[in-house]
Structure 1
Amino acid sequence: MSQSPRVVLITGANSGVGLATTQVLATAADNFHVIMTGRSLEKVLAAKNDIESSNPGTASHLSAIQLDVTDSSSVEAAVEYVSQRWGHLDALINNAAVGNVQSPDIRVRLQTCLETNVTGAAAVADKFRPLLLRSSSKPYSIFVSSGAGSFSRTSARLFAPNPMNFPSPPNPTAYHASKAALNMVALFEHADHGNEIKVFAMSPGFVESNLRGTTEELRSGWGLAGDPMTAGETLLTILRGERDADVGRLVHKDGVYDW
């Protein structure tokens, strides 16, 4: 008798780290079923079809639903659908995010980043937690954060005797602040629910992504960004239990960042 798949829901799964992680999980030897979600169901379905076309046999490992993390009714509808269809979740990967908000108004930049990257992620974690608690094994709640949200790492880069010059879109404060706040959400999730759920914040590293923008220059990080599949592989190691010694921390592929 075959073992039931581990059900994993990923927000923002139609591009970047979310899409790469979906592909990694769908093609892994492990028995995962990935629920791909995003604001646009059309884009999620297109991404799902691309994976299935490139990787025959993955169709049974993938589902697609609409989920806008900034829309409470959308989140609640997704929770209801997952509850009715699967009855539980084994892992929640809070990946949906915005980055390079093009506005001259600092209030707009902050509100936009915080609404998606922090409030949206926290609301999704809160609403899906009952489904995680129905898992037959200790489930995972993973917040895709960034080393940009680490105070120690960012201060070291900004105030070193010879500061590192690294590529960045203009006005990065809102994005950095949102990821620092997301780390705090993850830390409290671990404090409040760590006995029942394995909570991680995970930095994917500087990888190709639409977060910086959709031009080739911004997506590729001026040609310096890495392959998002690396982040997907890191998330796979977490779900396999290989990073359980670092539970409750901000991890990356090579170790842990201080908060």
Structure 2
Amino acid sequence: MAPRIVLITGTNSGVGFAASQVLATTPEYDFHVTMTGRSIDKVEASRMDIINSAKIPDVSSRLSTLHLDVTDPSSIRTAADAVANKWGHLDALVNNAAIGATSVDDDTYTRFTTCMQTNVTGPAVVEDAFRSLLLRAQTKPYSIFVSSGAGSFSRTADTTRQRGPEPPGDTSAYHVSKAALNMLALKEHIKYRDEIKVFAMTPGFVISNLRGTSEELRTGWGLAGDPVVAGETLLRILKGERDDDAGKLVSSDGIYPW
């Protein structure tokens, strides 16, 4: 049986790296993961990290890399052409690349334009570029937008909910961008629900460079969990275990309200 082709954006660290690792090293499911990112050198290094730490053979044949910068439409088109030429279709697209913390010195315009370009416009353009390849899949394809509970209106409005620490500076732009990404996922689901299984997925509070690159911020002051949990959530989605939750914001153990 031919492998299921999965493309993930933003794979040099955090959730994207963990998701690539989980899918490529789960031997009972034949995934081929195309890891992508702005820096092909960093993506290649991440691929080698997965191969060198793998406990199963032939992981290298289950991983490939492509340059894809979600803020550069020509880069997105080139990556889509490369997938079309090599595989002719795509079984799953994971829109993961995102930006969280910007400089505390950035003004409001810079914070919002940066976050919206990377976290909303980028995934919209990526989705548009790869959709025709998803529609060529032999089995029902999947499109997953990696979002956040920070984009949930209901959770944000709940002033009684216990909240974790936030990075320094104003995080409003990140929250707004993830709320917009949730709407993008929902619109995609409504339009293509008969052809594509579309999900928004929150990875949870996990170790990530989104908050910043210092050890304190990456680990969420020691409170953040392992991003492998997010990779395992993605695996369950692609195994079809969460099909009834298509069109929703899913977490590792349930559903987040919009």
Residue 89 (str. 1) matches residue 90 (str. 2): yes
Inter-partner Cα distance in structure 1 for 2:173 and 2:183: 15
Q: Which residue of 1 aligns with 2:143?
A: 141
Q: 1:229, CA displacement in angstroms?
A: 0.1
The aligned amino acid for 2:62 is H
Residue by residue, what CA displacement relative to the aligned partner does 1:43-82 show, whole Å, maximum 9, x if unpaired?
0000001111111420000000100001000000000000
Q: What is the deviation of 1:104? A: 3.3
Alignment of 1:63-142 (within 5 A): 63-102=64-103, 103-142=105-144
4+ residue segments displaced more than 4 Å = none
Structure 2 counterpart of 1:166: 164
Matches within 5 A, 1:1-259: 3-28=1-26, 29-55=28-54, 56-102=57-103, 103-156=105-158, 159-160=159-160, 164-169=162-167, 170-259=169-258
Inter-partner Cα distance in structure 1 for 2:242 and 2:122? 26
Q: Tell me how far apart the structure 1 counterparts of residues 41 and 154 of structure 2 sit (CA, whole Å).
A: 40
TM normalised by structure 2 equals 0.97
Q: Distance in 2 between matches of 1:57 and 1:76?
A: 30
Letter in 1 for 2:206: V
User: What is the identity, as a one-letter code, of the residue corresponding to 2:60?
Assistant: A
Q: Which amino acid aligns with 2:135?
A: L
Q: 2: CA distance between counterparts of 1:236 and 1:104? A: 37
* C-alpha distance in 1 between matches for 2:29 and 2:162: 40
Query: How far did 1:14 drift?
Result: 1.1
Question: What is the identity, as a one-letter code, of the residue corresponding to 1:32?
Answer: F
2:98 partner letter:
A
Q: CA deviation at 1:25?
A: 0.1
The Cα shift of 1:165 comes to: 4.4
User: CA, structure 1 residues 6+165, in 2 after alignment: closer, same or farther (shift >3 Å)?
Assistant: closer
Q: How many residues align?
A: 253
Q: In 1, Cα distance between the equivalents of 2:239 and 2:87?
A: 21
Q: State the secondary structure of the residue aligned to 1:235.
A: helix
Identity of aligned residues (%): 62
Q: 1:97 and 1:185, CA in 2 relative to 1: closer, same or farther beyond 3 A?
A: same
Task: Say what the alpha-carbon RMSD is for the aligned residues.
Answer: 0.8
Amino acid at match of 2:16: G
Q: What runs of 5+ residues in structure 1 fail to find an aligned partner?
A: none
**Residue 164 of structure 1: CA displacement?**
2.8
